[in-house]
Homo-oligomer: A and B are copies of this chain.
Amino acid sequence: MTMETISANRSFGGWHKQYTHQSEVLGCNMRFAVYMPPQAEEGETVPVVYWLSGLTCSDENFMQKAGAHRVAAELGVAIVAPDTSPRGEGVPDDPEGAYDFGLGAGFYVNATQEPWAKHYQMYDYIVNELPALVKSELPVSDSWSISGHSMGGHGALMIALRNPGMFCSASAFSPICNPMEVPWGQKALGNYLGDDREQWRQYDTCELIRTAREVPPILVDQGSDDSFLAEQLQPERLVRAVASSGLDFELRMQPGYDHSYYFIASFIEEHLRFHAEHLAAK
């Protein structure tokens, strides 16, 4: 496996870089971004926070808008931000170009339905191919955490729940926590996986929580003025699913905040400190 550097910016004493590589899993060329803190230049391996972005995003949104580099530099933590779907010639998109399906909306699942199955294998990409590439090419340790926003919050929680022991902690901003029961999730899961709702359960955080084991500590922030709160996010479903589980779980409603990166920026420091604490304890 090899990857190519396509941009590099000095940032808070470390480096923000974008890489491309040929993804075997997705059958296309993929781009991802890494923030590598100054400690990595001093010969250390550093722990990693994987960040999964939301609908319409690429590897760039979080790196440009979250203000996370400052804290990552202080804590000595790398951040890896993949793209949100396969891209490029031959990769099919929503037939009507909708923002919530197809390009920019891979939903971190392995599609089983045509024409999506050939390329839309984002679950395997995030869980297997990308971490292996990062580990082989960059000075990172085996301590990983995962976080994300909206569709990426769904991805982060779902992937942490399905892979016991892989992550020291998981967090999410405004996650689509019960995709089986909301329009965004129903559209994506129905198209990528087909009509059999039994197949959807493996990608639904609220479903997975009921049977999960070895669940890492979880922190969730949700803005109370998020315009998607009532229809798409419904965090009360997550609270109910967790209620009798005994999990190390906290959901914080943040008064007045919306679904934007201004919300993420306001609380990313607390998420990174939460992850750093659990990464250090490994």
Binding site for B on A (CB under 8 A): 9-13, 16, 64-65, 67, 69-70, 223, 225, 254, 256-258, 260-263, 265-266, 269
Docked Cα-Cα span, A96 to B257, in Å, equals: 42
CB-nearest residue of chain B to A61: B64
- 4 new A-B contacts, CB < 8 A, other than A10-B254, A11-B263, A64-B64, are A10-B263, A10-B266, A11-B265, A16-B262
What is the CB-to-nearest-CB distance from A10 to chain B, in angstroms, rounded to a whole number? 4
Q: How many Å from the CB of A252 to the closest CB on chain B?
A: 14
Contact B225 A262 (CB under 8 A): no
Q: What residues of chain B lie closer than 8 Å to A256, measured between beta carbons? A: 10
Which B residues lie within 8 Å of A13 (CB)? 266
Q: How far is the CA of A193 from the CA of B254 in the complex (A)?
A: 51
Contact: B67 with A10, CB < 8 Å? no
List 7 A–B pairs whose Cβ atoms lie within 8 Å, in order of A's numbering. Answer: A10-B254, A10-B257, A11-B266, A16-B262, A64-B261, A67-B70, A70-B269
Query: Within the assembled complex, what's the spacing in Å between the Cα atoms of A11 and B266?
Result: 6
Interchain CB contact under 8 A, A9 and B263: yes
Q: How many copies are assembled?
A: 2
Using Cβ atoms and an 8 Å threshold, which residues of chain B touch A266? 10-13, 69-70
Structural contact, B64 and A10, CB atoms closer than 8 A: no
Whether A10 touches B65, Cβ cut-off 8 Å, given contacts A262-B16, A265-B70, is no
**CA A223 to CA B263, docked complex, whole Å:** 30
Which residue in chain B gives the minimum CB-CB distance to A266?
A: B12
Contact residues in B for A225 (Cβ distance below 8 Å): 10
Partner of A260, one of B9, B70, B223, B269: B9
A67 closest partner in B (C-beta): B67
Nearest B residue to A257 via CB reads: B10
Are the CB atoms of B69 and A10 closer together than 8 Å? no
CB distance from A46 to the nearest CB of B (A): 18
Q: Given the complex, which residues of B lie within 8 Å of A265, measured CB to CB?
A: 11-12, 67, 69-70
Indicate if the CB atoms of A10 and B70 lie closer than 8 Å: no
Measured CA separation A80–B225 after assembly (Å) = 24
A88 CB to nearest chain B CB (Å)? 25
Bound form: Cα–Cα A64–B265 in Å: 9
Measured CB to CB, the nearest residue on chain B to A256 is: B10
User: CB distance A11 to B69 under 8 Å?
Assistant: no
Query: Roughly how many angstroms separate A263 CA and B65 CA in the complex, as a whole number?
Result: 13
